[in-house]
Structures are given as C-alpha cells and as structure tokens.
Amino acid sequence: MSEPLEVACDESGAEGEKLVGGNTDVFAHASVRMSPEAAGDCIRELRERAPTPADEFKAGHILREKHRAALRWLLSPDGPVLGHVHVFLTDKTFHVVGKVVELLGAPDAGGLAVALYDEGRRAFEPARWAAFLDAFNYLLRAKNGQGVTTSVEESFRLVDGLRGAGGPAGEIMDLLWRARPRFESFRERLLADPHVLPALDPLIPAIVRAVAYWGEDGRPVQVVHDRQTTLTDERVAHLHLVAAGLAGLRLVEARLDARVQVADVVAGAARKIASDELNGRGDPKLAALLRPYVDAYSIWGDARSRTLLAHHTKHG
C-alpha cells in the first residue's frame, strides 16, 4: 500500500445539527495539502498583509474591508493556496430539505429536493415555510438540546396545512404526508438509541468528500483535523466505514499546525463569500476568486449562486 497522503482540515459555520434559525446559513469545510513550512510561510505573509495582535490568525482579519487586498492575494491564481486547498460548501437549508426528501425513498430524491427548495420559498408564506423547516430540522436531529421538543404529529400538522398549495411544492407535501410512517420509524430509532449517528451534521459528508477528492487516484488519505467535539471515537469509526480511502483521522489544536490554520482561514472566508452570494449581496470578484476551490459535489440548491460559486457544482 502506498504511503498515505496527509491533508489538514478545518471548518466554518459549524452548529452541529442545528441548520435552521442558527447563527449561519452556510457551512464551509476546507482541506489543505501543503507542507507545514509552506503553510507557515502563508500565515506569516498574511500577518504582514493584514497585521493583527491575535495569537491565532483567523479569517475575520482578512474579511475586514481594510484588509480585503490580503484576501484577494490569498485566493488569487498567483497566491499560495490554489491547487493546494479544496472547499466543500453546504447550504444548510438545502441540506435539511434534502434529508427530508431522502426519507421518502423516491428514486429522484435529488430532483425532488431541488424542486421543494426552489418552490417552497415561492409557494408558501414565509412564516409557514420557516416553521416547516424548523420543525423537520428538530425532527431529524439526534439531540435537540435547549429543552426543545417536537413530534411527528406536530410536524405533520404543518405538512397537512401546506398540502393544498398546488404546484410542485404542494405535490411534494402530499408525498410527505403519505410517507409519515417512514418518519415515525426514523424518529423511533433516534429516541431508542442516544448514540445514533447524526443524520444532519454537515461535517461528516464534508470529510468524506475531502478524502474522495484528495484520494481520487486511489492513494489513502490521512486527515489532520482541528479539534471538534462532534468527532467522537464512534463517529470517526463511522467515517472509516463510509469514507473509502480514509487511512486515519487525528485531531489537533489549530494553533499548533499552520496547515490547519490555513484551512481555518480559507473555510471562514469561503463561508462568508458563499453566504453573501446565497443572499444576493455577493462580491462578483471574490466569488470568481473562490470558484476554483469549490467542490463540484457541494450541497447547494440555489441555482443562481451555484453558477457563481462553481462552474459545475452538482446537487448534493
């Protein structure tokens, strides 16, 4: 077996399985293939271009308007990371919609997810659409936290109220209504097993894609990742089952590994650029600089921003 290829990873926008109504609407995960020396040089150059007294250099430093030139330098074709960094983006709302539709067991789950994501925003009143997303986000979460509880009954009461909207969105709601037993079964499994693996945490598919991208030639991949409380021994074991080619996963403190710091900075910048594009307030020049880094399999449903963020981004 060939020697594993080591890549360093970090994320921005992680809120566990809370994907609706949180602090961020986009999750970004960056994977870096650089030598520690090259990564250290990159961070030192960033500090010169965007001075800060902070011990650890973060994306926020180059997202400030006065240091925007440093961000452009970092992502530019002549910068230090093109070809060495890859970014996986997740539109959190689309991720929830996709997981809901997935439980239908329909052959064209991807197409139905895009249809519901696109049409739901137009067909339903904003408050009712938001309530639906919030209810099903909680319904599919392994741990709801903060004393929040929901039930299949409450969630499907919302579905019943949306079935008469007509059009593609109403038709999908009718499919959901008829698939209620699938959701009841899923929820029973969640409640019965407190250690069940999370269905919604975007970190898991992001790591799987990082391994697939860097190991596409069949070479095993060793992941060095910033410390994450969600990356328990159980979930790392699960990653070994679903991420073909994963040789191992080691957790480190970002401040002790310059490669992870580079991943942190790029992930943070990518999340902000992508979120701005998703919400119609993007900077075309920054989107164009980010585009070469974005994974073609990013979980992204909005067609307009998708074309700006990646030439051939495929639906997750």
CA distance 297 to 293: 12
Q: Does residue 42 lie within any of the structural domains?
A: yes
User: What burial letters (b/e) apply to 144-178, b meaning 16+ CB within 10 Å?
Assistant: eeeeeebebeebbebbeebbebeebbbbbbbbbee
Total count of domains within the chain: 2
Please tell me whether residues 153 and 165 are part of one structural domain: yes
- Kindly report, residue by residue over 155-180, the tens digit of the pLDDT: 999 999 999 888 999 999 999 999 99
pLDDT the model gives residue 14: 96
Decide if 315 is inside a domain: no
State the Rg of the chain over Cα.
Answer: 20
186 and 210 together in one domain: no
Same domain? For 114 and 214 the reply is no
- pTM for the full model? 0.94
Show which of 192, 210, 227 is a domain's final residue: 192
Q: 138 and 157 share a domain?
A: yes
Final residue of a structural domain among 146, 164, 192: 192
pLDDT of residue 310: 83
Domain assignment of residue 10, yes or no: yes
Looking at the structure, tell me whether residues 97 and 49 fall in a common domain: no
Instruction: Please tell me whether residues 109 and 133 are part of one structural domain.
Output: yes
pLDDT of amino acid 314: 47
314: in domain? no
Are 145 and 101 part of one and the same domain?
yes
Dig out the tokens for 118 from the structure: 């696109």
Note whether residue 208 is domain-resident. Answer: yes
Same-domain pairing of 87 and 156: no
Same domain for 99 and 37 = no
For residue 316, is it within any domain?
no
Q: Indicate whether 173 and 130 sit together in one domain.
A: yes
Q: Where are the beta strands (DSSP E) in the chain?
A: 5-12, 26-32, 85-91, 221-226, 246-252
Regarding whether 64 and 144 lie in a shared domain, the answer is no
**Over its length of 316 residues, how does the chain's per-residue pLDDT go in tens digits?**
689 999 999 999 999 999 999 999 999 999 999 999 999 999 999 999 999 998 899 999 999 999 999 999 999 999 999 999 999 999 999 999 999 999 998 888 999 999 999 999 999 999 999 999 999 999 998 665 555 567 899 999 999 999 988 899 999 999 999 999 999 999 888 888 756 667 799 999 999 999 999 999 999 999 999 999 889 898 999 999 999 999 999 999 998 999 999 999 999 999 999 999 999 999 999 999 999 999 999 999 999 999 999 865 444 4
- The whole domain housing 112 covers 93-192
Please list the residues that pair with 11 across neighbouring strands: 29
Q: Of 124, 158, 192, which residue sits at a domain end?
A: 192
Task: Say what percent of the chain tops pLDDT 70.
Answer: 94
In angstroms, the CA 169 to CA 166 distance is 7
Question: Does residue 16 fall inside a structural domain?
Answer: yes
Asked if residue 253 belongs to a domain, the reply is yes
Domain match, 141 and 184 both? yes
CATH number of 30's domain = 3.30.420
Q: Crossing angle for the helix pair 180-192 and 152-162, nearest 10 degrees? A: 160
